[in-house]
Amino acid sequence: MTQVQRPLVIQSQLTRIYCPLQTRTRHAFSRHGLHKLLHTKTVTEADIARLASRPLHPLTLADLVRHGRPPLSAPALYSSANFTLSILPTRLAHRIQSLRNLPFIVVANPHINRIHNNYIHSLSTLLPWAEKEIATLEDEVKFTEVIADLVQTHSNTISILARGFLEARKYISPKEVTRFLDEHLRARIGTRLVAEQHITLHLSSQPHRELLSSSTSAHEDSAQPASSYIGVIDTKLRPASVITHCESIVSEICELKYGVRPHVVINGEPDYTFAHVPVHLEYIITELLKNAFRATIESGKEREPIEVTIAPLPEDDVCEQNENNSTKFISNTDQGNIDVASKTFTGQDVSDTPSAAASEMIRPLADSTPGVTIRIRDRGGGISPENYAHIWDYSFTTFNDDQVSMTLAGGPASKSSSGMDALNAISGPGGEGMNSLAGLGYGLPLGRAYAEYFGGGIAVQSMWGWGTDVYLSLRGVGEID
């Protein structure tokens, strides 16, 4: 048994976030005197093989609210901790295996190898808990420290992987990179959600307070989540408020860079609310508004408003339209559960069971799940036919040598205008730094992954020479008592 010292800052929390997906309030276990050494266990090849052979648990929003509204009782906290413990080791092992199935020279890249080692470290902190059940407040507090360490350790995974693949571009094809990233990023959404949900439930609950070395201050009370929250889910999420918040951020950067700021008009049903994960919606809206603002400015139409329409999804559409799987079901592919990169699916090689992999669908909820459609319409001239087919690509996979060199040196890599980097600089899901993904083209692919993860989606309709309509649909949790 060894011990390691790791920073234990919990980054994700409940209230309004500041792009990129970083919250305005950060909670540190050190504030409560819980900044201690983490116990680890050596990760063996047998551990990785055993865990990676298990199927990935399909995740629904219902899983995240199953433990009830906070503050939770001690038994409910134990249930949340044990559910988290049942999910995460398998997910980490799948990621380790998928990295190891990349060409060896790619995994040897320092950036990609760093991500591999981060997963090994996180698994080593979970293994001491894997064979036990969490049934005391002391164990629940210690386990939450481990989960906080996991979230912090993997906060910059996406940008580090991107740099690694850029440096290793001679040894892996763009198609292989795209396949790996599609799976890896979608699987990562579920891992972060499970971990952050337990952390936020822990912080908003009371039973463990008497174990803390310092008393709860008024400041800490004020940092508690609003009553509409269940962990990371806002059960009364108002899309119009998110859109307004994202507009202000994008507008300020546009004005700083270009001297102008297009304005947004919100119509439809701006008072509509539903239950979803605010950080996901905020990331997606930010990316879509960035694209609309950029097109509007570059086409000289900055006086034309960007129109955002909010429309609740009809209940009939949710309850009855399930023959084509477009609204009722989520696919395992959308969640990264068909683990092509690590060559496993429900414990088998994917190549041996293509029909099973393709047919596995996940129901979001047994009952209706109210949702929303958001249309963003701009007069920015549309998307050219040659670019339209590539809007979902990771742009950096098509960089030439000069663009790669400029990106690795920290300069602009955009094919059209270095001014784009002013808007790219605010990208960065899952705790990324402000400039970590600038110019790498992750925005739309990752936004679509967030939308599709729980049964939503993004559709783009462009009129070349006129403008673009983007339709974002999101599925909610449903009615929660």
Encode pLDDT of 239-252 as tens digits. 999 999 999 999 99
- Residue 362: pLDDT band (50, 70, 90) is low
Is 302 in contact with 352 (CB distance < 8 Å)? no
- Residue 34: pLDDT band (50, 70, 90) is very low
- Cα 146 from chain centroid (whole Å): 20
Exposed / middle / buried, residue 29 (Cβ in 10 Å: 0-12, 13-18, 19+): buried
| Three-class SS state of 422 | helix
- Any idea what the Cα angle at residue 271 is, between residues 23 and 476, rounded to 5°? 65
- The pLDDT of residue 348 is above 90: no
User: What pLDDT, in 10s, does the model give residues 216-232?
Assistant: 444 444 445 446 899 99
- Any idea what the Cα angle at residue 410 is, between residues 409 and 413, rounded to 5°? 95
- Any idea what the Cα angle at residue 355 is, between residues 354 and 356, rounded to 5°? 95
Which of 63-77, 85-99, 274-288, 394-408 is least confident? 394-408
Residue in the block written with tokens 């940092």: 223
User: What pLDDT, in 10s, does the model give residues 459-477?
Assistant: 999 999 999 999 999 988 7
Structure-model confidence comparison of residues 317 and 326, the more confident one: 317
User: What pLDDT, in 10s, does the model give residues 148-204?
Assistant: 999 999 988 888 888 899 889 899 988 888 889 888 988 999 999 999 999 999 998
- The pLDDT of residue 6 is above 60: no
Buried b / exposed e over 301-316, threshold 16 CB at 10 Å, is bbebebbbbbebbeee
Furthest C-alpha separation in the chain: 65
Q: In whole angstroms, what is the distance from residue 8 CA to residue 5 CA?
A: 9
- The pLDDT of residue 120 is above 80: yes
| Three-class SS state of 220 | helix
Q: What is the predicted pLDDT for the residue at 396?
A: 64
Residues ≥6 apart with Cβ < 8 Å to 337: 55, 56, 58, 187, 345, 360
Q: In whole angstroms, what is the distance from residue 99 CA to residue 92 CA?
A: 11
The mean per-residue pLDDT over the stretch 248-266 comes to 91
Structure-model confidence comparison of residues 110 and 391, the more confident one: 110
Q: What is the predicted pLDDT for the residue at 431?
A: 47
| Token digits of residue 388 | 């339209």
Q: In whole angstroms, what is the distance from residue 130 CA to residue 48 CA?
A: 13
Element (H, E) at 458: strand 457-463
Structure-model confidence comparison of residues 177 and 370, the more confident one: 177
Q: Cis check for the bond before 370: say yes or no (omega within 30 of 0).
A: no
| Three-class SS state of 373 | strand
Q: In whole angstroms, what is the distance from residue 354 CA to residue 288 CA?
A: 34
| Three-class SS state of 361 | strand
Which of 40-54, 253-267, 425-439 is least confident? 425-439
Q: In whole angstroms, what is the distance from residue 365 CA to residue 331 CA?
A: 14
User: What pLDDT, in 10s, does the model give residues 388-408?
Assistant: 888 888 776 666 777 767 776
- The pLDDT of residue 107 is above 70: yes
- The pLDDT of residue 89 is above 80: yes
The mean per-residue pLDDT over the stretch 408-425 comes to 48
- The pLDDT of residue 430 is above 90: no
- The pLDDT of residue 355 is above 60: no
Structure-model confidence comparison of residues 207 and 111, the more confident one: 111
User: What pLDDT, in 10s, does the model give residues 325-342?
Assistant: 444 567 777 777 766 654
Q: In whole angstroms, what is the distance from residue 341 CA to residue 52 CA?
A: 12
Element (H, E) at 308: strand 306-312
Residues ≥6 apart with Cβ < 8 Å to 255: 261
Q: What is the predicted pLDDT for the residue at 38?
A: 79
Over its C-alpha atoms, the chain yields an Rg (Å, rounded) of: 22
Please provide the average confidence, as pLDDT, over all residues in the chain.
77
Q: What is the predicted pLDDT for the residue at 409?
A: 66
Where do the domains of the chain lie, and which CATH numbers do they carry?
Answer: 2-230 (1.20.140.20), 233-328+363-475 (3.30.565.10)
| Token digits of residue 417 | 């205008």
| Three-class SS state of 104 | helix
Ramachandran assignment for 465, one of left (phi > 0), alpha (psi -120 to 50 degrees), beta (any other): left
Global pTM value: 0.80
| Three-class SS state of 318 | helix
For the chain, count helices (H), then strands (E): 17, 16
Element (H, E) at 237: strand 233-237
In whole angstroms, how far apart are CA 128 and each of 8, 75, 233?
Answer: 18, 21, 29
DSSP string covering 136-181: SHHHHHHHHHHHHHHHHHTTTHHHHHHHHHHHTGGGS-HHHHHHHH
